[in-house]
Structure 1
Amino acid sequence: MRPKPAIEALRAQIERLECRSRRSRSVLPFGIAEIDSRLPGGGLTLGALHEVAGGGNGTIDGAAAALFAAGIASRTKSKVLWCITKPDLFAPALAQAGLSPDRVIYAEAGDDKTVLACMEEGLRHGGLGAVIAEIARLSMTASRRLQLAAEGTGTIGIALRRWRRQTEASDFGQPTAATTRWRVSALPSTPLPVPGVGRPRWLVELIRCRAGESADFELEACDDTGHLRLPADLVHGPGQAEDGRRSASG
């Protein structure tokens, strides 16, 4: 006997939900045990929305947050859609964080509403590795739409919170449907055994993690493969790190 149409429709809906659940379990690891162990599944959930913002030092921390997002996107496999309101991204800096210019598609929009629409369309497309959107405000309704769009295709979405006025920064504390929420602040660069500028360091704060715990990490900034690294003096301790630097320069 052929199943009734209502039963067939219910089975199809269950199948779609199961496929969405399987996609949401895929993750993008950072490759640093201290971070991945804090994230459900051992990495950033693919097919999900994540939020990234800079700390309190304005443009400097905002740039660090953008490079953090670029590093994540660079470790995906396909093209990256970056939705912006003004063309002020520095492509060579993104390349230093692993995101080469030939992988980035820029969509310039006039306001947050249009940027969010572009981001949602990009997430629904299904052929992109990541979709990043620079926005000042993100409501619960808008974030839910983005989360559902990401779940439907398995594409990772990053809402890069960027404020034109400092008063807008308070919106970052409002609840959203994002799976994780990160804040990135610039720190003094890694010391070198000789005069020069070492690798930049960031304070990376995991402020919110669904089904996980908050944490903060002192890390060396993304390299040209998009990977972060624990500073040597934090891995080995100050004495061992100093011995290592002396050996390298000897």
Structure 2
Amino acid sequence: MVQPAVLRLREQIQRLEGVPLRARTVLPFGVEAIDSRLPGGGLALGALHEVAGGGNAAINGAAAALFAARIAARTKGKILWCITRQDLFAPALAQVGLHADRVIYVDACDEKTVLACFEEGVRHGGLGAVVAEVARLSMTSSRRLSLAAEASGSIAIAVRRWRRQTEAADFGQPTASATRWRVSTLPSSPLPVPGVGRARWLLELIRCRAGESADFVMDACDVQGRLALPADVADRSATTQHGRRSA
């Protein structure tokens, strides 16, 4: 439970950042470990969020795209997805709950066009979410997107994807996004029999406006788009908490 003093401090930070203080609707992840670290108990709607892959996934963008699709799938309405590379795999998006009949694809020739379509989609206001794959995101562009999302109430998700590993350093540059996430793949959940278990992710909340950064080891999305704490991690957390209470 967030204490009133913390809420007041967040409001002061928002004033300094020039963020309007009107109440924002949030989209909970449905995982207490994550939602408790986000202001309002979920991912802010009417805001811009950034997602990137960690390690080699910074180039292929697969884990970041699935994480973005998971967020988009839990909104209502059509999803606009803007790309420059024709390698987005629709069946994979369906496996995390975002089915093809909900997605409108925009295949742009360059990033400038992607950003223009991204902003227009966010301003439209009639979409559940707008997702765009971009390598560079300047403070000016991100601020325009953030203001457009705030005005329309739509959630905007920038999937940061680069063509060379060295370009990923751009992810450290400041933007106007409400949150910034990095998604890295981990070894899958162990099974008692030979086979491949449920995929695992390391979710890094690198930036959270009016909040704190955090890391989460999670089982990747299922067909309903649900994340979950791995059983062994949840058991270990419960044991640790019990030990602290006993102490």
Q: TM-score range by the shorter chain?
A: 0.7 to 0.9
Give the Cα–Cα distance (whole angstroms) in 2 for the partners of residues 63 and 228 of structure 1.
16
Q: After superposition, give the CA deviation of every residue in 1:29-66 in whole Å (9 maximum; x if it has no partner).
A: 00111100110000000000000000012468721111
Number of residue pairs the alignment of both structures matches:
221
Q: Counterpart of 1:156 in structure 2: which amino acid? A: I
1:118 equivalent in structure 2: 117
Unaligned runs of 5+ in 1: 1-19, 241-250
Q: Answer yes or no: is the 8 Å Cα contact 1:61–1:184 preserved in 2.
A: no
Q: Answer yes or no: is the 8 Å Cα contact 1:76–1:130 preserved in 2.
A: yes
Give the Cα–Cα distance (whole angstroms) in 1 for the partners of residues 57 and 34 of structure 2.
25
Q: Give aligned-pair identity as a percent.
A: 75
1:106 equivalent in structure 2: 105
Give the Cα–Cα distance (whole angstroms) in 2 for the partners of residues 62 and 23 of structure 1.
34
TM-align CA RMSD:
1.9
Structure number with bigger Rg: 1
2:92 equivalent in structure 1: 93
2:78 equivalent in structure 1: 79
Q: Answer yes or no: is the 8 Å Cα contact 2:80–2:130 preserved in 1.
A: yes
1:196 equivalent in structure 2: 195
Q: Answer yes or no: is the 8 Å Cα contact 2:59–2:162 preserved in 1.
A: no
3-state SS in 1 of match to 2:39 = coil
Give the Cα–Cα distance (whole angstroms) in 2 for the partners of residues 150 and 24 of structure 1.
14
Give the Cα–Cα distance (whole angstroms) in 1 for the partners of residues 206 and 186 of structure 2.
18
Residues 229 and 210 of structure 1: is their aligned pair in 2 closer, same or farther, counting only changes over 3 Å? same
Q: Answer yes or no: is the 8 Å Cα contact 1:27–1:45 preserved in 2.
A: yes
Q: Answer yes or no: is the 8 Å Cα contact 1:83–1:119 preserved in 2.
A: yes
3-state SS in 1 of match to 2:201 = strand
Q: Answer yes or no: is the 8 Å Cα contact 1:23–1:47 preserved in 2.
A: no
2:228 equivalent in structure 1: 229
TM-score by length of 2: 0.85
3-state SS in 2 of match to 1:41 = helix
Give the Cα–Cα distance (whole angstroms) in 1 for the partners of residues 145 and 197 of structure 2.
38
CA apart distance, 1:167: 2.5
Q: Counterpart of 2:108 in structure 1: which amino acid? A: A
Give the Cα–Cα distance (whole angstroms) in 2 for the partners of residues 153 and 60 of structure 1.
31
Give the Cα–Cα distance (whole angstroms) in 2 for the partners of residues 21 and 223 of structure 1.
35
3-state SS in 1 of match to 2:41 = coil
Q: Does 1:182 align with 2:181?
A: yes
2:170 equivalent in structure 1: 171
CA apart distance, 1:22: 7.8
CA apart distance, 1:77: 0.7
2:46 equivalent in structure 1: 47
Unaligned runs of 5+ in 2: 1-18, 240-247
Q: Answer yes or no: is the 8 Å Cα contact 2:73–2:98 preserved in 1.
A: yes
Q: Does 1:212 align with 2:211?
A: yes
Q: Answer yes or no: is the 8 Å Cα contact 1:76–1:129 preserved in 2.
A: yes
